[in-house]
């Protein structure tokens, strides 16, 4: 499932995609096809451990012998010498997949050229779970990748943390003008290159095959972290950082985030930038890209003094910007036609990143051994702690899957639930955008944000689910511990179980109208009006009963959050309000109330 961002100003976010609107569905389909770790497109499997490969060996002869069309080559965990001779040529339905426990290719001295070339002639070709160690030299070393028309090349968890020496012409991944199929780059890490880390703009000049760059981290890398873009290309859920000066390239020093220097049609979305005056500009519309078109949306950019946008041509009418959050003291220079969010309403970027990110596996970000790009000595005490973290995840007693209906009208579907015990993300969650919070009362709340129709989110948790909320007008089904159910059934079962001992205290049953002061109704109003872009979370408990007061509630001018169903039960109310009002009638006394956000509270007589 794709990463989704919380949109504080959601009005019009799906409108005005212009000529790039076709890219969203197409790129999402391309992305979902790449199931990392699940190689089902080869006929034969060769495990190099069984072929005699041992830690420290030169791996090139093994790859040269066994990597061929129709074959999956598995590499056991370890560090191997690699000179670039074992991967070369055109392949059909082939894969080189390292162990998720960590595989390192140690390249030779910087002055030695290493220039692997792996091309998908037809079908799917993949390279996965490999970290390249050692700096590249001044003369151009690089990994050249691409695919013929109708074919697909995949680079997954393929990491180059050591970059280059100063003054280098070497690059990280390079796609040439012969790329005409689909190139999918996911969960990769690049750092400290003097030249371009991910050089994938050249296909526009020839085969014009799309390039999908997802969940990748570019940390302090020079010239340009990413050069874009051929038609249909997407950069999604990537992180760009300039907090330390990178080496110079062979033509001098520069340190850009994304350089758009070919006039293709592209989407750049859900990305985070942590920038400073250490770098040059975060995003450049180069004059060579004039005539291109696309959309930038849901970007979070912090810049404390450098340059954010530089435009070499007038992008109005060609590129649109939606929900661009700008923070920091820089003069950001965003194009005037971009929709930006600034000041206290702007959301700062998520600055967490990982070097080792196997797909579909419960492996900690730092990776085992030197597979994360750290020295073996530094990792000596890390593996045990990571293993214990994984064990903790496995010990949570319940597994829940939320499934947004495919008939939901759009992506404004938000779902949350609160439990009595801890919650953790499972395989289908999106930790960078979905939220887990520990509440003041010791409970935990998970929120799935902006679920696409037919999207899945999954979590594990301890204890019981005590409340839930789903945006009004949207359907979310639930699978709990492998059984289909609903939130209402889960909470209802708990309420029925607890009600046998709580009826008298809650004011339920035959006491209605007996004249007790606890049966006199009052109203609590949580008022979030006046701030069109913020939400407030609230919860309160009463000694009697509570019910929504529709007459005093107002969501007519609110955000989609105002349409979210607030949970009311067992004398507890949990909800969220945006630019609207939530009102509840209750009996008994107001025992506790908490509000997280900008909202006022008023108590009225009914």
Give me 366's structure tokens.
Answer: 């730092």
Label residues 9-36 b or e (16+ Cβ within 10 Å = b).
bbeebeeebeebeebbeebbebbeebeb
Task: Determine the longest span between alpha carbons in the chain, in angstroms.
Answer: 91
Q: What's this model's pTM, rounded to 2 decimal places?
A: 0.58
Residue 582: strand, helix, or coil:
strand
What's the pLDDT tens digit per position in 85-138? Answer: 889 899 999 999 999 999 999 999 999 999 999 999 999 999 999 999 999 999
471 secondary structure, DSSP code: B
Mean pLDDT of the region 543-552: 80
What's the pLDDT tens digit per position in 231-290? Answer: 999 999 999 999 999 999 999 999 999 999 999 999 999 999 999 988 899 999 999 999
Find out whether 460 and 423 touch, Cβ atoms under 8 Å.
Answer: yes
* Rounded distance between C-alpha atoms, residue 340 and residue 435, angstroms: 23
In the prediction, which pLDDT does 18 show? 27
Using CA atoms, how far residue 455 sits from 22, 295, 312, 433, 445, in Å, is 19, 23, 39, 14, 20
406-410, 453-457, 552-556: least confident range: 552-556
Find which of 234-248, 381-395, 464-478 is predicted with most confidence, using mean pLDDT: 234-248
Mean pLDDT of the region 441-463: 88
**In whole numbers, what is the pLDDT of the chain averaged over residues?**
80
Using CA atoms, how far residue 338 sits from 133, 282, 321, 412, in Å, is 40, 16, 4, 22
* Rounded distance between C-alpha atoms, residue 505 and residue 533, angstroms: 39
Look-up: residue for tokens 């030249």?
195
In the prediction, which pLDDT does 570 show? 65
* Rounded distance between C-alpha atoms, residue 555 and residue 563, angstroms: 7
Give me 269's structure tokens.
Answer: 């979305």
45-54, 147-156, 282-291, 388-397: least confident range: 388-397
């Amino acid at each position: 499932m794709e990463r989704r961002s919380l949109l504080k100003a959601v009005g019009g976010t799906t409108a005005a995609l212009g000529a790039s609107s076709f890219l969203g569905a197409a790129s999402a389909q391309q992305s979902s096809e790449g199931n990392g770790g699940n190689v089902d497109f080869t006929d034969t499997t060769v495990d190099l451990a069984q072929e005699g490969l041992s830690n420290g060996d030169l791996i090139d002869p093994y790859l040269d012998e066994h990597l061929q069309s129709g074959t999956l080559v598995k590499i056991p965990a370890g560090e191997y010498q690699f000179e670039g001779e074992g991967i070369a040529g055109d392949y059909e339905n082939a894969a080189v997949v390292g162990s998720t426990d960590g595989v390192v290719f140690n390249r030779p001295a910087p002055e030695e050229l290493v220039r692997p070339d792996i091309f998908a002639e037809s079908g799917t070709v993949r390279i996965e779970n490999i970290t390249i160690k050692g700096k590249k030299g001044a003369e151009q070393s690089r990994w050249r990748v691409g695919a013929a028309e109708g074919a697909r090349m995949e680079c997954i968890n393929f990491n180059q943390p050591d970059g280059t020496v100063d003054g280098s012409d070497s690059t990280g991944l390079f796609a040439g003008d012969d790329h005409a199929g689909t190139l999918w780059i996911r969960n990769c890490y690049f750092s400290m290159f003097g030249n371009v880390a991910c050089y994938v703009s050249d296909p526009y000049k020839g085969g014009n095959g799309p390039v999908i760059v997802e969940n990748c981290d570019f940390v302090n890398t020079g010239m340009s972290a990413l050069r874009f873009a051929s038609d249909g290309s997407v950069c999604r859920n990537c992180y760009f950082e300039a907090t330390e000066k990178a080496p110079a390239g062979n033509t001098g020093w520069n340190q850009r985030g994304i350089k758009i220097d070919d006039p293709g049609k592209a989407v750049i979305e859900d990305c985070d930038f942590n920038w400073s005056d250490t770098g040059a500009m975060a995003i450049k519309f180069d004059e060579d890209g004039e005539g291109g078109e696309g959309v930038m949306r849901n970007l979070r950019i912090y810049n404390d003094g450098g340059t954010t946008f530089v435009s070499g041509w007038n992008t109005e009418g060609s590129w649109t910007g939606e929900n661009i959050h700008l923070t920091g003291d820089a003069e950001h220079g965003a194009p005037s036609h971009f929709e930006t969010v600034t000041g206290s309403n702007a959301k700062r970027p998520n600055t967490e990143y990982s070097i080792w990110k196997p797909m579909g596996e419960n492996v900690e970000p730092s990776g085992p051994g030197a597979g994360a790009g750290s020295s073996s000595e530094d990792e000596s005490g890390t593996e045990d702690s990571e293993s214990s973290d994984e064990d903790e995840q496995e010990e949570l007693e319940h597994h829940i899957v939320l499934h947004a209906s495919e008939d939901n009208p759009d992506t404004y579907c938000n779902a949350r639930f609160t439990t009595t015990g801890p919650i953790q993300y499972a395989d289908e969650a999106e930790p960078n955008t979905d939220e887990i919070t520990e509440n003041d009362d010791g409970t935990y709340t998970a929120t799935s944000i902006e679920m696409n129709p037919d999207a899945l989110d999954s979590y594990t948790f301890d204890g019981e689910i005590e409340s839930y909320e789903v945006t009004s007008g949207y359907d979310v089904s639930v699978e709990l511990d492998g059984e289909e159910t609903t939130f209402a059934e889960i909470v209802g079962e708990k309420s029925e179980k607890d009600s046998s001992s709580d009826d008298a205290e809650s004011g339920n049953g035959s006491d209605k109208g007996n004249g007790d002061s606890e049966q006199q109704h009052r109203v609590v109003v949580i008022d979030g009006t006046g701030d069109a872009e913020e939400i407030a979370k609230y919860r309160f408990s009463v000694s009697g009963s509570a019910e929504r007061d529709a007459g005093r509630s107002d969501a007519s001018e609110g955000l989609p959050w105002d349409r979210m169903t607030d949970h009311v039960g067992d004398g507890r109310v949990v909800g969220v309000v945006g630019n609207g009002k939530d009102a509840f009638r209750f009996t008994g006394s107001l025992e506790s109330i908490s509000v997280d956000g900008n909202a006022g509270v008023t108590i009225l007589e009914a």
